[in-house]
Structure 1
Amino acid sequence: MASEHTIPRLDFADLPMAADRGVGWATLRDAGPVVFGEGFYTLTRRGDVLEALRNTEVYSSKAAFDGLGSPLPMVPIAFDPPEHTRFRRILHPYFSTQTLGAMLPSLQQQAIDVIEGIAANGGCEVVSELAIPYPSQVFLTLFGLPLADRDRLVAWKDAIIDIGMLDNIEDADLTPALELATYLTEAIAEHRRNPGDDILSGVLTGPDLLDDGEALGLGYVFILAGLDTVTSAIGSALLMLARQPDVRRQLCADPDQVPVFVEELLRLESPAPMIPRVTTRPVTVAGVTLPAGAKVRLPLAAINRDGSDAISGDNVVMDGKLHRHWGFGGGPHRCLGSNLARMELRLVLTEWLRRIPDFDVAPGFDPLIEWPAPALALPKLPLVFGSAQNGQQ
Structure 2
Amino acid sequence: MTAAGELGLPHVRYEDLPMTRDRGVGWAALRELGPVVWGDGWYYLTHREDVLDALRNPAVFSSGIAYDDMISPVPLVPLGFDPPEHTRYRRILHQFFSPQTLNALLPSLQAQAVDIIDGIAEQDTCEVMTELATPYPSQVFLTLFGLPLEDRDRLVGWKDAIIAFSLTDDPSSVDLTPAVEMFTYLTEAVAQQRNQRRPGILSDLLHAEEPLTDDEAVGLSMVFVLAGLDTVTSTIGATMAELARRPELRAALRDDPDAVAVFVEEMIRLEPAAPIVGRVTTEPVTVAGVTLPAGADVRLCIAAINRDGSDEHSVNDFVLDGKLHKHWGFGGGPHRCLGSHLARMELKLVVTEWLARITDFRLEPGYVPEITWPSPTCTLPRLPLVLG
TM-score (norm 2): 0.97
Aligned to 2:27: 25
CA apart distance, 1:210: 0.5
SS at 1:209 equivalent:
coil
Unaligned runs of 5+ in 1: 387-393
Tell me what 2:146 maps to.
144
Query: Residue 174 of structure 1: CA displacement?
Result: 2.2
Q: How far did residue 293 of structure 1 move?
A: 0.2
CA contact (8 A) 2:137 2:232 kept: yes
Code of the residue aligned with 1:347 in structure 2: it is: L
> 1:92: which partner in 2?
94
The match for 1:355 is: 357
Distance 1:141 1:225 in 2: 17
Aligned partner of 1:391 in structure 2 is none
Counterpart amino acid of 2:387?
A: F
| 1:285-329 per-position Cα deviation (integer Å, ceiling 9, x unaligned) | 111110000000011111000011111110111100011110000
The corresponding residue for 2:327 is: 325
CA gap of 1:52–1:296, structure 2 versus 1, over 3 A, is same
Indicate the SS of the match to 2:309.
coil
Paired position in structure 1 for 2:70: 68
Tell whether 2:68 aligns with 1:78: no
CA contact 2:5–2:38 (8 Å) conserved in 1: no
Cα separation, 2, equivalents of 1:372 and 1:320: 34
Q: Deviations over 1:132-156 (max 9, x none)?
A: 0000000000111000000000000
2: CA distance between counterparts of 1:27 and 1:373? 17
1:156-185 per-residue CA deviation (whole Å, 9 max, x = no partner) reads 000111111124646643221111110001
TM-score (ref. length: structure 1): 0.96
> 1:369 corresponds to which residue?
371
Write the mapping of 1:174-323 to structure 2, written as runs, cut at 5 A. 174-323=176-325
Which of 107, 110, 134 aligns to 1:108? It is 110
Q: Shift of residue 206 of structure 1?
A: 1.0
Task: Answer yes or no: is the 8 Å Cα contact 2:62–2:279 preserved in 1.
Answer: yes
Partner Cα distance (2:149, 2:43) in 1: 41
**Per-residue deviation at 1:15?**
0.3
Q: Which amino acid aligns with 2:377?
A: A
**Residue identity opposite 2:303 in structure 1:** A
What is the deviation of 1:3?
8.4
CA distance in 1, matches of 2:44, 2:100: 37
Deviations for 1:10-67, whole angstroms, at most 9, x for unmatched residues? 0110000001000010010011110111111000000000000000110000011233
Contact 2:66 2:279 in 1 (8 A): yes
Corresponding position of 2:159: 157
Q: Matched residue of 1:383: which SS?
A: strand
Counterpart for residue 336 of structure 2: 334
For residue 134 of structure 1, the aligned residue among 109, 133, 136 is 136
Distance in 2 between residues matched to 1:344 and 1:161, nearest whole Å: 22
The SS at the match of 1:19 is: coil
Counterparts in 2 of 1:3 and 1:161: CA distance versus 1, 3 Å: closer
Amino acid at match of 2:378: L
CA distance in 1, matches of 2:125, 2:387: 5
SS in 1 for 2:64: coil
Aligned residue pairs, count: 385
Structure 1, residues 330-385: CA drift from partner, whole Å, max 9, x if none?
00000000000000000010000001122110101121001111101001000112
- Any conservation in 2 of the 1:3–1:288 contact (CA below 8 Å)? no
Question: Which moved further from structure 2: 197-206 or 129-138?
Answer: 197-206
Which of 44, 49, 52 in structure 1 is aligned with 2:51? 49
CA contact (8 A) 2:36 2:288 kept: yes
Letter in 2 for 1:161: I
Residues 73 and 169 (structure 1), Cα distance of their counterparts in 2 relative to 1, 3 Å cut: farther
Aligned position for 1:117:
119
* Cα gap change, 1:172 to 1:66, in 2 (>3 Å): farther
The structure-2 alpha-carbon separation of the partners of 1:170 and 1:90, relative to structure 1 and needing over 3 Å to count, comes to farther
Within the candidate set 38, 43, 55, 1:36 is matched to 38
Which amino acid letter does the alignment assign opposite residue 48 of structure 2? R
Moved segments of 4+, more than 6 Å: none
| Secondary structure in structure 2 of the residue aligned to 1:62 | helix
The amino acid of 2:304's aligned partner reads A
Is this contact kept in 1: 2:5–2:11, CA < 8 A?
Answer: no
Cα RMSD (Å): 1.2
- 2:295 maps to a residue whose letter is G
Q: Percent identity?
A: 64
